[in-house]
Structure 1
Amino acid sequence: MKSFFSVLIFATFLLATFLRGCFGEETLQLNDDVLGLLVFKSALQDPWRNLDSWNEDDNSPCGWKFVKCNLKTGRVTEISLDGLGLSGKFGRGLEKLRFLKVLSLSNNKISGGVNPELALVTSLERLNLSRNNLTGEIPSFLDNMSSIQSIDVSQNSLSGPVSDTMFGNCTALRFVSLSGNFLEGQIPGSVGRCAVLNHLNLSNNRFSGNPRFSGGIWSLAKLRTLDLSNNALSGSVPVGIAVVHNMKQVFLNGNQFSGSLPDDIGLCPHVNTLDFSSNRFTERVPESLQRLSSLSYLNLSNNLLTGDFPQWISTLTSLEYIDFSRNYLMGSLPMSMGDLKSLKFLSLSENKLNGTIPESMRDYSSLTVINLSKNGFNGSIPKGLFNMNLEEMDLSRNELSGPIPSASSKIFESLQMLDLSDNSLTGEIPAEISLSSKLGYLNLSWNHLESRMPSELGYFQNLSVLDLRNNGLIGSVPGDICDSGSMAILQLDGNSLTGPIPVEIGNCTSLYLLSLSHNNLSGPIPRTMSMLNNLKILKLEFNELSGEIPQDLGKLENLLIANVSYNRLVGRLPPGGIFQTLDASAIQGNLGICSPLLKGPCKLNVPKPLVLDPFAYGSRGGDRDENNRQHPSSSTDSTNFRHHRFLSVSSLVAISAAAVIAVGVIVITLLNASARRKISYIENALESMCSSSTRSANLAAGKLVLFDSKSTPDWLSTSIELILNKATEIGEGVFGTVYKASLGREGTVVAIKKLVTANTLQYQEEFDREVRILGKARHPHLISLRGYYWTPHLQLLVSDYAAEGSLQGKLHEQTSSFVPLVWPQRFKIVLGTAKGLAYLHHSFRPSIIHYNIKPCNILLDENLNPKISDFGLARLLTKLDKHVVSNRFQSAPGYVAPELACQSLRVNEKCDVYGFGVLILELVTGRRPVEYGEDNVVILSDHVRVLLEQGNVLDCVDPGMGEYPQEEVLPVLKLALVCTSQIPSSRPSMAEVVQILQVIQTPVAHRVEAF
């Protein structure tokens, strides 16, 4: 019905156009706006019925909602449809509104391209199409709108280059925002012709090259805001900005600019915001900056700036935000730092600053965040810092000494994050810190604090991360440590804590990491620990814990890492969970844990066996008096008893010997039968090659074997006609070719791998056993193996089919719909793949080795969760011959562990760890592991390692993934380099990799949740 109405409106529109041509403009001018708006509306979906007042029966649209008219002429001058939930296409009709001045459609879901006929509205002054789903290139017709003053098409999906004629006729243009799209190429030089332009925002695109400052942007004398942030712009920023006398805000952050900062930046007296962060600027901070008396925001972080810290910084009394972090600044802070009375944010982390923290900082009445971490500051912490309304304080990784100052009531009401770790602080933990009701992150680790554990820990209401590692804390673990109900990370290891682990630890239901290792804790492991359903890492090693590990701990399904080594534990390991797959290093050094991995004694805490009294079954009471005292027996009775005991022992020995002999006979019989079956099987196979008997033909036909007992009878009983040809082929690897096929009458789509025949297990019994082991590997990050199809000459594996494709396509196979993966997606793929590999390595004995980790074998579901395919196929080969190894190197260059190339073939877990490390590098950088140039070959792992040694490792990060947290990306890159170590023993296990990745991610996540 709606489509019919749209056609009717459009026909009316064409008729009106024809009649106007016949009878003149004035005849139908009152209906032009009505018809134009109705045609435009017909292409939209209006779920909230906001446009119901737009009625075709009206002679004028001036009474319609969201429409404004000129009172004299009655013609439409403004349409404002912002945030109405509209969707559909940007259709025709608006070109009829010849007097339209304002068109605003922002914050909707309108898709498709901008209709080029909008160029006919020559009266348009303001155009706002921001925050929609528009695609295609920037409309080239905008250069014909001589009256246009404001253009905002930000936050869409527009792509391609911007024509150099875009700003060919911009005499009235004052505001331009193209930010948040996928625009590329160079910034058009014609922008320098926009003489009255005062706002230019081209941020968050893919513009590259040098933006032609001289003679271009620097010639825009009336420019007030310039935002070129988060592109791929490069080159130097020359002097000349002083010409832009009215400049107030400059954002060049997130690019690849190099060289020195422009020396004349201080000649723009009205500048209040400067952000040059995340570039490659070198040399000193320009002294001309001290002239900017109006400057309130200054961000020069993440560059290569050198020289002494500017002592004149305190003259900029209007500063509210200073960030010089991640540079190479040296020297000390001026004592006059306290003159910055308006300062709210101060970050000088990761420099080479030294000296003491100025006492004058106590005068910062507005400061909320101070970060001086990773420098060389010494001396004591100024007491005044704990008498402020701070929200975050990070003084970690310095050389600070002395006690932690006592806190005042001001900081109790505001403090959310406190990190004083990795210093040389002494004394006690101030009890009043626990009164900080908003505190979510507390890290005092790696100091020399010597006191009892604070008994006020239960006062924390929002604490999610508590890290007191490696101090000299004594006393017991408080029972109320988790009364806040939000504790996620608790690390108390490396102290001198005594006493038992409190049973109240079961109240820490949100805990995901618990580390109490390297203390003097005693007593049993509380059974209440089994209530920690979110627990992923448990470290209790090097204590004095005794008794058995509670069997209920085996129910902790999320537990990935556990270590109880070097305690006084005995007995059985909990069934299920991670405990049955722990290696020897996680349980060694105890009194008697029962495990085949340990050589020591096995001690079970079980009741002593009940020993029956041989005289208890004589007369019912004649042999015992009322006090249960045994009567003395005669010598004859004693002799008979000894003879009876001797016969019992002899009988037991005889029975045992008979049982052993019987078992031996059964085993030998079974072995002989198995051998006869194998000989018969070989004879039948040979017969099938030489004759056409019915029996051999049936054998050669094969049968599909599915592991799922819930499969339909049709699957289990019917021989399947497998069509394996080029039309159904979807991939090829070292171990064979993959096809897409359907099974049964239901047509279930599966993936079929036709294995290479060389060295494949020759007997179905062996093949069945190994494939069934692989079929038991069920994990959220593994592709499930459903079954197999076997004949002597054809072996097929049946697994789930992944319709969303592989990681290879997401990284390198760029199509018209290609959208780069952002950092959270990439991290999710890294962590999920690590979990899948850790499951294969640590949940099976012997471990399942993937052997062929690469992006092609990492499949993605609809939520971009990774699923590992083709794992463990080396188990199906009798040996890895030279042909397979050669193909392995050719199909996955850069992914093969070096020991496989230069030593005897030893495929083990460390080979997978190496391939996983390369996978991380490929995900973070977006580059292939080996790239061939005209004159050289670039090995990705070597390239990243060199950049790390030079201090420029973040330069290799894929710019396509946009903004990313450096505190996550940098350690992930370092982890990748550890995984790709040339020495296998230097690589971590996959369980350790998972633990490291979770520690990298979780503290930040919890800090975000807490704050």
Structure 2
Amino acid sequence: MRKLFDCVVFLLLIVGRTVSLNPSLNDDLLGLIVFKADIQDPDNNLTSWNEDDNTPCNWKGVRCDPISNRVSDLTLDGFGLSGRVGRGILQLQFLRKLSFAKNNLTGGLPFNLAQLENLRVIDLSENRLMGPLPGNFFGQCRSLKLISLANNKFTGPVPDSLSSCSVLATVNFSGNQFSGLLPSGIWSLQGLRSLDLSRNLFEGEIPKGIESSNNLRELHLGNNQLTGEIPDGIGNCLLLRSIDLSDNSFQGSLPSSLQMLSLCNNLNLHKNSLTGEVPEWIGEMKNLESLDLSDNSFSGRLPTSVGNLRSIKLLKLSMNSFAGSLPESIINCVNLVVVDVSQNSLTGNLPTWLFKLGLQNVNFSENKLIGDIGASLKSLTDNSRQNLAVLDISKNSLTGAVPLALGDISKLQYLNLSKNSLVGGIPDSIEGLKALDVLDMSQNQLSGSIPLKIGEAVSLRDLRLEKNFLSGNIPISIEKCTSLTSLILSRNSLTGSIPAAFAKLTNLQTVDLSFNKLTGTLPRQMANLDHLIAFNISHNQVQGELPGGAFFNTIPPSSLYGNPALCGALVNKSCPAVLPKPLVLDPNSSDSTPDSSPANPSHRKKILSISALIAIGAAATIIIGVIAITVLNLRVRSATPHSASAFTLAGGDGFSSSPTTDANSGKLVMFSGDPDFSTEAPALLNKDCELGRGGFGAVYQTVLRDGRSVAIKKLTVSSLVKSQEDFEREVKKLGKIHHRNLVAIEGYYWTPSLQLLIYEFVSGGNLYKHLHEGSGGKFLSWNERFTIILGIAKSLAHLHQMNIIHYNLKSSNILIDSSGEPKVADSGLARLLPMVDRYVLSSKIQSALGYMAPEFGCKTVKITEKCDVYGFGILALEVVTGRRPVEYMEDDVVVLCDMVRGALEEGRVEECVDERLKDKFSPDEAIPVMKLGLICTSQVPSNRPDMAEVINILELIRCPSRGQDELV
């Protein structure tokens, strides 16, 4: 069809044009028009391409030879074009340069561009072209000098016909998915100057014959899967200036022929399996500007000849087994900018002479250095103070105090002194570090207080001071560090309260203040920290109630442990009610004029009498009013139908009947067949009976007058609740939903300012407590867990069948009844909101971190039942593994589905099963359930099964005879 379309376009154009045109020029024009028909031009860069023109030579991106007037160059770089490269190009027989770089072209190259005999340059880099190259792609490339297909998606082997391009000088196929062996005849290209095949999937050894490439200047084969040794013949390529063989699996030692490459300025052998010592002849490569031998298995001492590399700027030797100390001859490397010798076995003192150079980046972390840090850094020259941006000397055995001189390094952005044995305080000179981005002094023996001057380091993003002996208050000046995202101060002896200034740090994501001696309450303004993902205040003396807000409503209990005076649902402790202060009459007070004498006893006695009489009169009036109201209530109550009075709460903490029928009266409806009736709002829901709090509100247990227990949810999203008419209509719909695995709604209570939902009471606690807190001292068996997973699936399938999305799945919303069956709570409560807005849902309802489907964060993706499927997948993994969806470790954050997926890929998924089950579970059931959980948590909603399919799969897992092998 495509060929037919091209022919039709050609015929139409030929018929439509005058025969007076130059036939050869007509070929170029028609070819470009056909090419344009195959692409889209959203930025209108090709509007000048008019088929009615007599020549294309004035078109944008087109250049013609001034003598022949034939199209010689077609350069459309960065035009934003999409579509495919069509055959119209083949009409341009005199084309010398074809460049479509930095566009959005797609599809493959099914034809041979090289048949354009005059073509010298092909640049199709940075597009989205894909597929293999035709075997004869380079069949007629006698004139081709440069070809770049970099940063596309080409696959398969590079055709052997490449070696027929006799004058080819530059080949760049980097950033694709080419595979197989390197082209065997590549070294026969005598004019080859630059070969870049990096970032592909090539394997095997470098082909023999490299020594014949006398003109080679650049050899970039990094980021492949190449093996074998670096060929010794590489040293015969005397013009080589840049060698990149990094990220492969090369073995053996450095070939001695490398010393012949006196013009080479870049040698990158990072991340291979090279061994042996760095030889003395390395100093012969005197033009080296960058030497990267990191992440290999080199050993021994670094030779003193490294000091001969006077041009070197970057020296990276990290992640090897180098020993001894750095040779002092490096002081001669006056152009040195970056030194990274981390993760070796270097010994001795931190070299003082090194800081006399104008270094920008110094990394000595994870070695065996000793000595006083202050003595080493005294040698900082003005040049160093002006240039040093990164200093990492962590994980050594350095001693002494943090030197004041650090405050003079004005451009310092990264400072890591952690995991040493430093003593003393943090110097006030830190105020000079205006550009500091990361400050890590953790795991030392620092003492004293955090200096007030810390607020002057206004660029700080990451502050880590944990595991020291710091004391005193957290300075209020920290509020100036508005870029802070991570603040780790745990395991010190900090005192005082958490400053309200924290609320100004709106970028905070991770805060760890655990294991200190902090007191006071958490500032309520912290509820506005929208980016917070971890906040650990465990093992302090913090008191009071947590701030409200999406994060603090779901903060892991482990982040609160060890604060006995904390209260609220998350710590299972009711907060004391805040009551108004009683009115106290001061018998000594007087409203007399200044001339009155308070010392007059008779006068004071008279004032006391008047005050007492006023108080007594007021009290008497109140008592009479209470008695009158009580009598009226008794009369109304005696006339109230039995069905209404049956709902009166036991213990006095219930609904009080109202003698009025005005707009302030509440409406109570029970779904028991009785007609609707009105009653007064609940006077009090006893906090001692609070069962928990969630995104919709608090839940209380109470007992009806007939002795039946119910759960009452007091909605806290009143400002979002619909009108009374809509509210009642939606609740009545929910009241008609009945399923053994859903918590049933038994009634509701409505006033404009208060809405209550009345549920059946489920006595067995929630799934979260059973999994993570061992409710009742008993952990769930495998059979109980499977029953729970299957029950949840059935409840969701029932909801979805009725076109209801749950939106708020999490283990604390799964209740367990006395028979071990799960009952899903909060079903369909989102229907009570005036609109189902994903941002309202994510902040007000779907607040449990880790359960929310990724489409909640994307405006263009529709929210469907598949978001419940995602939450179910997380729940299934949580039940099998016994781990929370997101867990915050000391130095890491573990995402459950990522952990299980990684374990599955590594063939150790069975290790993810809850260790408390030990050998008391069936791998033939547990492993398929985890696989099903991963399928349900696919990032793409359409890839997730529906809940009916999930039930079928679970039943197959439980009953192998029905086809369990298909799943496994």
TM range (shorter): 0.5 to 0.7
**Larger RCO, structure (CA 8 Å, separation 6 or more):** 1
Question: What's 1:526 paired with?
Answer: 499
Match of 1:158 among 119, 129, 139: 129
What secondary structure does 2:267 align onto? strand
Report whether the alignment pairs 1:796 with 2:761.
Answer: no
Report whether the alignment pairs 1:760 with 2:741.
Answer: yes
What secondary structure does 2:746 align onto? helix
Counting only pairs closer than 5 Å after superposition, residues 332-347 of structure 1 correspond to structure 2 as 332-347=301-316
Match of 1:325 among 289, 294, 309: 294
CA drift of 1:66 comes to 6.1
Question: What's 1:221 paired with?
Answer: 190
CA drift of 1:275 comes to 0.8
Question: What's 1:486 paired with?
Answer: 459
Which amino acid in structure 2 is aligned with residue 942 of structure 1?
Answer: G
Counting only pairs closer than 5 Å after superposition, residues 713-862 of structure 1 correspond to structure 2 as 759-761=740-742, 763-765=744-746, 796-799=802-805, 859=855
Match of 1:355 among 324, 328, 336: 324
CA drift of 1:870 comes to 6.3
Which amino acid in structure 1 is aligned with residue 422 of structure 2?
Answer: L
Report whether the alignment pairs 1:909 with 2:890.
Answer: no
What secondary structure does 1:123 align onto? coil
1:758-783 Cα distance to aligned partner (Å, 9 max, x none)? 84338443999599999xxxxxxxxx
Distance 1:275 1:453 in 2: 43
Report whether the alignment pairs 1:314 with 2:316.
Answer: no
Which amino acid in structure 1 is aligned with residue 256 of structure 2?
Answer: E
Question: What's 1:592 paired with?
Answer: 565
Question: What's 1:940 paired with?
Answer: 905
Q: Relative to 1, partners in 2 of residues 1:103 and 1:560: Cα closer, same or farther, differing over 3 Å?
A: closer
Question: What's 1:418 paired with?
Answer: 391
What secondary structure does 1:799 align onto? coil
What secondary structure does 1:480 align onto? helix
What secondary structure does 1:399 align onto? coil
CA drift of 1:218 comes to 2.4
Which amino acid in structure 1 is aligned with residue 169 of structure 2?
Answer: N
Report whether the alignment pairs 1:536 with 2:509.
Answer: yes
- Percent identical pairs in the alignment equals 33
Match of 2:82 among 103, 111, 127: 111
1:682-722 Cα distance to aligned partner (Å, 9 max, x none)? xxxxxxxxxxxxxxxxxxxxxxxx9974599899869999x
Which amino acid in structure 2 is aligned with residue 521 of structure 1?
Answer: L
1:645-667 Cα distance to aligned partner (Å, 9 max, x none)? xx99xx9xxx9xxx9x9953668
Match of 2:105 among 128, 134, 149: 134
Distance 2:800 2:758 in 1: 14
RMSD, aligned CA: 5.5
Distance 1:532 1:417 in 2: 25
Q: Relative to 1, partners in 2 of residues 1:129 and 1:371: Cα closer, same or farther, differing over 3 Å?
A: same
Q: Relative to 1, partners in 2 of residues 1:103 and 1:386: Cα closer, same or farther, differing over 3 Å?
A: same
Match of 1:564 among 537, 551, 555: 537
Distance 2:601 2:229 in 1: 102
Match of 2:377 among 397, 405, 424: 405
Match of 2:898 among 903, 911, 920: 920
What secondary structure does 2:802 align onto? strand
What secondary structure does 1:382 align onto? coil
Which amino acid in structure 2 is aligned with residue 14 of structure 1?
Answer: I
Question: What's 2:339 paired with?
Answer: 370
CA drift of 1:228 comes to 0.9
User: TM-score, length-normalised on structure 1?
Assistant: 0.63
Q: Relative to 1, partners in 2 of residues 1:60 and 1:102: Cα closer, same or farther, differing over 3 Å?
A: closer
CA drift of 1:608 comes to 9.5
CA drift of 1:174 comes to 1.7
1:40-90 Cα distance to aligned partner (Å, 9 max, x none)? 7788888888778778897666677766555555x24xxxxxxxxxxxxxx
Gaps of 5+ in 2: 1-6, 628-633, 635-646, 657-668, 675-716, 748-756, 767-793, 808-837, 919-968
User: TM-score, length-normalised on structure 2?
Assistant: 0.66
Which amino acid in structure 1 is aligned with residue 484 of structure 2?
Answer: L
CA drift of 1:184 comes to 0.8
Q: Relative to 1, partners in 2 of residues 1:109 and 1:62: Cα closer, same or farther, differing over 3 Å?
A: closer
Counting only pairs closer than 5 Å after superposition, residues 657-696 of structure 1 correspond to structure 2 as 664=650
CA drift of 1:452 comes to 2.2
Report whether the alignment pairs 1:176 with 2:136.
Answer: no
Match of 1:504 among 477, 497, 513: 477
Distance 1:8 1:598 in 2: 76
Counting only pairs closer than 5 Å after superposition, residues 20-59 of structure 1 correspond to structure 2 as none
1:583-620 Cα distance to aligned partner (Å, 9 max, x none)? 5543444473345666999899999988656x559998
What secondary structure does 2:456 align onto? coil
What secondary structure does 1:183 align onto? strand
Distance 1:299 1:177 in 2: 22
Name which of structure 1's ranges 277-286 and 581-590 shifts more when overlaid on structure 2. 581-590
Report whether the alignment pairs 1:19 with 2:43.
Answer: no
Match of 1:272 among 230, 238, 241: 241
Q: Relative to 1, partners in 2 of residues 1:710 and 1:317: Cα closer, same or farther, differing over 3 Å?
A: farther
**Contact kept in structure 2, 1:13 and 1:36, CA below 8 Å:** no
Match of 1:626 among 598, 602, 612: 598
Distance 1:305 1:431 in 2: 42
Distance 2:316 2:500 in 1: 45
Counting only pairs closer than 5 Å after superposition, residues 867-882 of structure 1 correspond to structure 2 as none
**Contact kept in structure 1, 2:800 and 2:865, CA below 8 Å:** no
Distance 2:392 2:66 in 1: 64
CA drift of 1:231 comes to 1.0
**Contact kept in structure 1, 2:101 and 2:127, CA below 8 Å:** yes
Distance 2:604 2:507 in 1: 63
Distance 2:120 2:581 in 1: 93
Q: Relative to 1, partners in 2 of residues 1:45 and 1:941: Cα closer, same or farther, differing over 3 Å?
A: closer
CA drift of 1:9 comes to 12
Which amino acid in structure 1 is aligned with residue 176 of structure 2?
Answer: N
CA drift of 1:242 comes to 0.8
What secondary structure does 1:514 align onto? strand
Report whether the alignment pairs 1:191 with 2:162.
Answer: yes
What secondary structure does 1:190 align onto? helix
Which amino acid in structure 1 is aligned with residue 165 of structure 2?
Answer: C
What secondary structure does 1:221 align onto? coil
Which amino acid in structure 2 is aligned with residue 494 of structure 1?
Answer: K
Which amino acid in structure 2 is aligned with residue 302 of structure 1?
Answer: K
Which amino acid in structure 2 is aligned with residue 301 of structure 1?
Answer: H
**Contact kept in structure 2, 1:440 and 1:465, CA below 8 Å:** yes
* Count of residue pairs the alignment pairs up: 752
CA drift of 1:157 comes to 1.7
Question: What's 1:248 paired with?
Answer: 217
1:509-568 Cα distance to aligned partner (Å, 9 max, x none)? 221212222223233322222222222222223333333333333333333322233334
**Contact kept in structure 1, 2:534 and 2:888, CA below 8 Å:** no
Question: What's 2:958 paired with?
Answer: none
Question: What's 1:969 paired with?
Answer: none
Distance 2:170 2:215 in 1: 11
Distance 2:158 2:880 in 1: 49
Distance 2:245 2:913 in 1: 34
What secondary structure does 1:103 align onto? strand
**Contact kept in structure 1, 2:63 and 2:73, CA below 8 Å:** no
Distance 1:719 1:573 in 2: 31
Distance 1:264 1:362 in 2: 33
Which amino acid in structure 2 is aligned with residue 313 of structure 1?
Answer: I
**Contact kept in structure 2, 1:198 and 1:222, CA below 8 Å:** yes
1:72-110 Cα distance to aligned partner (Å, 9 max, x none)? 55x24xxxxxxxxxxxxxxxxxxxxxxx33222222122
Distance 2:325 2:576 in 1: 57
Q: Relative to 1, partners in 2 of residues 1:238 and 1:895: Cα closer, same or farther, differing over 3 Å?
A: farther
Distance 1:379 1:346 in 2: 20
**Contact kept in structure 2, 1:421 and 1:447, CA below 8 Å:** yes
Distance 2:282 2:797 in 1: 80
What secondary structure does 1:367 align onto? coil
**Contact kept in structure 1, 2:495 and 2:519, CA below 8 Å:** yes
Distance 1:289 1:604 in 2: 80
CA drift of 1:254 comes to 1.1
